[in-house]
Amino acid sequence: GTDITLNIPVSTKEASGTSWEKVIINGNILVTTPAGSVPEVIVDNKNGLVVNDDLSNLQKRLVDAIELVKSNKHAEWMRNTISSSYFVTTHRMFDDVLKLYS
């Protein structure tokens, strides 16, 4: 296992993504681009660390994640991630899949 997971798909190429969902269900720290269903669930600096699509802030976000693991805020972070892991709208995912493959 790991405390930090990096998820950096290209925003227009990801319909949903289940890997990052598993990360937050387990209360781990997610460092991710705003791809697929991420914007529906992830609030930057609350239950995930969002990386710009051009990855210009990737190094900073990874350092932020390491700082969270070392800090006493990790338990609060885990509560935030687990409590936000219950919804991703199927309707939006279906629309994205249609756009990708039509």
For residue range 31-84, list pLDDT tens digits in order.
999 888 788 888 999 889 999 989 999 999 999 999 998 887 888 888 888 777
**65/33 Cα distance (integer angstroms):** 14
Give the single-character DSSP code of 94: H
**58/64 Cα distance (integer angstroms):** 10
Strand partners, 29: 4
pLDDT for res 33: 92
3-class DSSP assignment, residue 30: strand
3-class DSSP assignment, residue 12: helix
Structure tokens at 49: 């660390």
